[in-house]
Structure 1
Amino acid sequence: MMPLWDSDALRAATGGTVPDGVAVTGISIDTRSLRPGDLFVALRDARDGHDFVLAAFAAGAACALVDRNVAGGPTLRVTDTLQGLTDLGAAGRARAGARVVAVTGSVGKTSTKEMLAAGLTACGPTHASVASFNNHWGVPVTLARMPADAAFAVIEIGMNTRGEIAPLSRLAHPDVVMITTIAPAHLGRLGSMEAIAEEKADILAGLAPDGTAVFPADNEWSPLLRRRAEAAGARLLTFGESVDADARLTEWTGGADTQSFRALIFGADLHVTLPVPGRHMGLNALAAIVAAGALGADPARFAAGLAAFSALAGRGARVVLPLPGGEALLLDESYNANTASIRAALAVLAAQPARRRIAVLGDMLELGEDAPVMHAGLAPDAAAAADLIFSCGPEMRRLHDALPPNKRGTHAPDSAALAPIVAEALQPGDVILVKGSLGSRMSAVVRALQTVQGAAA
């Protein structure tokens, strides 16, 4: 394998000291996923990465990025490891000839990033963020991993509070930026929907000269996004269902596990088949096609490449659960939640053929003082989509109490208490949706359901 970075390049990128003859083929910040030949970056978080350097070398690391003396193998010594990683990411971006798209949004960032990766791969060598590598260490890791010969790169950018997106955008220096939508995610931290919209619009901060912004046409905050794009001098392309959208969804047909739609894009009528359900996924795909076209990719070839896209675990993955006497279907949406994403997931649940449709919902976190109303306000959508709704957490108690009595399943204080109850209730023919904020730990319910599967198998 060709080296990603050698000693000279590492020194030039970081200003650090490293022995001659070092060559690394990848970047790792976690010994559990490290591959032989990687550069292990000793970051400090809940644990100090320096404590794992020996384990990294034992796993085959070619070098370790450190800011204090450690033993066990060759080291790239810098003043601060996070800054060293950031410098390495900046150097990776600077040397690459790839056309770069940066993706943010309150809902759908990771799924849209995966759509972009699938479609662009059909158009040329493509590099993309893994998982949700979208923060102050994930973005530089992605950039530092970028092969110099990549034609396209997809960078996901997220945030938890105000002021986080702009520096990451400047680091990525994208040719195209995309906002999937604006919704009440992290509302408790940012304080208002306007602040969320402004923070998401900060993705424009690093946009290359003559770059393109791809924004939703139909969102309440679209006028703010348009003003920000115009102020930044960006070429603006909008997507959505309104007649004013530059890329407009004109027809949509949805099924239980697939969908097709027609759209007017760049003046052409394009027909797209997507191997996942949900109108929201179709709109994400429409946005991805627009962004790909702005990067210079062929929209039709990109759209054909979307056949390789599949929903991720925690973000819509469909898992068949064998049971005595039949099987059930799990819709795993356990990674995160806000009002927009829960309503979209409930719409997918409603489209599934099933003996019973069951929703298992955990608290939506970081919604601030509006959280009680937002949770109770989901009751009509949940009751329309599901035959039975289980819930957990103090805020979802509001939903439970607002539901019609015949729709109420068990409410529990947390996911650990709810998980065995849901697993016990599962029957052949059920379709069961599991969704909640990451901090609600709804993956515990997913694991319990998969244990039932394992026992039955």
Structure 2
Amino acid sequence: MIALSLAEIAAVVGGDLRLAGSSTADTVVDGVVDTDSRNMVPGSVFVAKPGAETDGHRFVGSALAAGAALAIVEHAVDDEITQIIVPDVIVALADLAREVVARVRAAGDLRIVGITGSNGKTTTKNFLARILADEGETVAPINSYNNEVGAPVTMLRVTYDTRFLVSEFGADAPGSIARLAGLVEPDIAVVLMVGMAHAGGFGGIEATAKAKSELVAAARPEGTAVLNIDDSRVAAMGELARSRGMQVVSFGQSTAADVQAHDLEVTASGTSCIIEAAGQSLPLHLRVLGAHHIGNALAAIAAAGVLGVSASDAIARLETVEIAERWRMQPMGSDRVRIINDAYNASPDSMSAALRTLAQITGPGERTVAVLGAMSELGETAGEEHDRIGLLAVRLNIQRIVVVGPEARRLYISAIGEGSWDSEAIFFPDQDAAFDYLRTELRDGDRVLVKSSNSVGLRHLGDRLGELFS
């Protein structure tokens, strides 16, 4: 965080400053701001967030021991630490992020990119951050820091030397993206796709589309919307952007896209294609597995182009990226038994894309194995969407379908109903049982996909398999 006095911070968050030790109102703080006491270093600000399982106020002492200079709290704590008492620490965190970004923006040439979409946010964020890092200091979220805590914490990492802030915006309800993006008013709004991920929490896909459009509505009127022309709901957001005076740059595989890809070829070493941008035809070999990541690459190239980075430079930098993120199409194991651990998140769209990738990268004499868990937050559509994935796995001729956990049992039943038999589809109630089966079932030449929503935790099963067959 930029240097601010304790008095300035208290004024920004509208809190009651209570000094401790040798601190005065003029004492300057410029360290990390976080809700996790384990991330504290000398001079940090600890935000004591109450939670469903634990309360951050219990860890103020740990934060102080690690060097925290200030705690933002909702009630006074006994620890000998300077504290600012506020009604709501999450609101205070947002207020502080808004002020810090505004000061940096006013003092220099900070450009802000906001990214949202039902799938692909983190991958696109990582792609764009890699491209922009060679242009100047770039701040981007760690992992999937895209919620009411993660987004402001990321924003607070900017300094007066930062040239680019890449923010990822998730949503757990209508209005979430509007609130988070409204803190910084991005110069560029990137919308990737509207899918069934989290649709249960929004009341359907049209409500999901409206929620994603909040990013375009929150962007600067003189800014740019970077939109996926292949998704009709996203493409329709161009009308909203133009009504606000924004420029629109499209990406996709359509020949109408400003930045487009064609001649896709998917192999076990990645995906190749030809990129058309700014009148140039340029080859791209993306080492990240899966044709669906080409769309994320196109979005990153398009956004970087708005910021003045040539397509050729963007492509050269993208070709250095080996994995999108841990647990996202992450190759593990060995050439003998290749594990693809993609179990950080799962939606019907990403599950389908991962299964198709598994089928595409498996060669003659090799066997496809899909280890699948439940897709969360689908609401009333959960049953039919799990049915659809079971059918797809069979129709793609996935040779072993290993379903884990009671929430995914309907996927298993659907696969059986579609004609998977003779142990081609098998169900296990938990990860340990699945691991015991797979450790003896997997053989040389197997290509194994592990896929589920984050809450199911199959990523840990993927790690165990990756280590076993490394």
Shift in alpha-carbon separation, 1:247–1:226, aligned structure 2, 3 A: same
1:412 matched to 2:428? The reply is yes
Match of 1:336 among 339, 342, 345: 345
Alpha-carbon distance between aligned partners in 2 of 1:408 and 1:379, rounded to the nearest angstrom: 12
1:311-326 correspondence to structure 2 within 5 Å: 311-320=324-333
* Cα distance, 1:5 vs structure 2: 4.1
Q: Which residue of 2 aligns with 1:205?
A: 217
1:40 matched to 2:55? The reply is no
1:400 matched to 2:397? The reply is no
What SS does the corresponding residue of 1:446 show, helix, strand or coil? Answer: helix
Shift in alpha-carbon separation, 1:437–1:403, aligned structure 2, 3 A: farther
Shift in alpha-carbon separation, 1:403–1:61, aligned structure 2, 3 A: farther
Q: Which blocks of at least 5 consecutive residues in structure 2 are unaligned?
A: none
Shift in alpha-carbon separation, 1:395–1:36, aligned structure 2, 3 A: farther
1:127-276 correspondence to structure 2 within 5 Å: 127-276=139-288
- Residue type matched to 1:39 in 2? V
Alpha-carbon distance between aligned partners in 1 of 2:193 and 2:337, rounded to the nearest angstrom: 32
Q: Which residue of 1 aligns with 2:94?
A: 86
* Cα distance, 1:430 vs structure 2: 2.2
- Residue type matched to 1:344 in 2? A
* Cα distance, 1:6 vs structure 2: 4.2
- Residue type matched to 1:394 in 2? R
Alpha-carbon distance between aligned partners in 2 of 1:101 and 1:149, rounded to the nearest angstrom: 17
- Residue type matched to 1:378 in 2? I
What SS does the corresponding residue of 2:46 show, helix, strand or coil? Answer: strand
1:371 matched to 2:407? The reply is no
Alpha-carbon distance between aligned partners in 1 of 2:176 and 2:87, rounded to the nearest angstrom: 23
Q: Which blocks of at least 5 consecutive residues in structure 1 are unaligned?
A: none
Segment of structure 1 superposing worse, 116-125 or 53-62: 53-62
Alpha-carbon distance between aligned partners in 1 of 2:209 and 2:295, rounded to the nearest angstrom: 19
Shift in alpha-carbon separation, 1:193–1:300, aligned structure 2, 3 A: same
Q: Which residue of 1 aligns with 2:80?
A: 72
Alpha-carbon distance between aligned partners in 2 of 1:51 and 1:150, rounded to the nearest angstrom: 34
- Residue type matched to 1:404 in 2? S
Alpha-carbon distance between aligned partners in 2 of 1:406 and 1:122, rounded to the nearest angstrom: 53
Alpha-carbon distance between aligned partners in 2 of 1:268 and 1:425, rounded to the nearest angstrom: 49
1:389 matched to 2:401? The reply is yes
8 Å contact 1:89–1:171 — kept in the other structure? yes
8 Å contact 2:252–2:295 — kept in the other structure? yes
8 Å contact 2:131–2:317 — kept in the other structure? yes
Shift in alpha-carbon separation, 1:420–1:33, aligned structure 2, 3 A: farther
Segment of structure 1 superposing worse, 436-445 or 146-155: 436-445
Q: Which residue of 2 aligns with 1:347?
A: 356
Residues 334-388 of structure 1, C-alpha deviation per residue, up to 9 Å, x if partnerless?
1111111012111221214473221011111222333222222224532325221
Alpha-carbon distance between aligned partners in 2 of 1:277 and 1:260, rounded to the nearest angstrom: 10
Alpha-carbon distance between aligned partners in 2 of 1:261 and 1:217, rounded to the nearest angstrom: 18
- Residue type matched to 2:421 in 1? P
8 Å contact 2:332–2:340 — kept in the other structure? yes
Shift in alpha-carbon separation, 1:398–1:297, aligned structure 2, 3 A: same
**TM norm structure 2:** 0.88
Shift in alpha-carbon separation, 1:89–1:385, aligned structure 2, 3 A: farther
What SS does the corresponding residue of 1:96 show, helix, strand or coil? Answer: helix
Root-mean-square deviation (Å): 2.3
Match of 1:437 among 453, 457, 461: 453
8 Å contact 1:92–1:145 — kept in the other structure? no
8 Å contact 2:225–2:238 — kept in the other structure? no
Residues 317-341 of structure 1, C-alpha deviation per residue, up to 9 Å, x if partnerless?
11125xxxx8422111111111110
Residues 208-261 of structure 1, C-alpha deviation per residue, up to 9 Å, x if partnerless?
121111111111424532333233332111111112212121332332122332
Match of 1:54 among 56, 61, 72: 61
8 Å contact 1:215–1:222 — kept in the other structure? yes
Shift in alpha-carbon separation, 1:146–1:6, aligned structure 2, 3 A: same
1:277-316 correspondence to structure 2 within 5 Å: 277-309=289-321, 310-316=323-329
What SS does the corresponding residue of 1:40 show, helix, strand or coil? Answer: strand
Segment of structure 1 superposing worse, 88-97 or 416-425: 416-425
Identity of aligned residues (%): 33
Alpha-carbon distance between aligned partners in 2 of 1:185 and 1:141, rounded to the nearest angstrom: 24
Residues 392-436 of structure 1, C-alpha deviation per residue, up to 9 Å, x if partnerless?
223323433235215723212344543433344333432211111
Segment of structure 1 superposing worse, 372-381 or 234-243: 372-381
8 Å contact 1:347–1:385 — kept in the other structure? no
Shift in alpha-carbon separation, 1:327–1:59, aligned structure 2, 3 A: farther
Aligned pair count? Answer: 449
Segment of structure 1 superposing worse, 395-404 or 287-296: 395-404
* Cα distance, 1:136 vs structure 2: 1.1
8 Å contact 1:314–1:332 — kept in the other structure? yes
Match of 1:100 among 112, 118, 127: 112
Alpha-carbon distance between aligned partners in 2 of 1:447 and 1:285, rounded to the nearest angstrom: 26
Segment of structure 1 superposing worse, 46-55 or 57-66: 57-66
- Residue type matched to 1:377 in 2? R
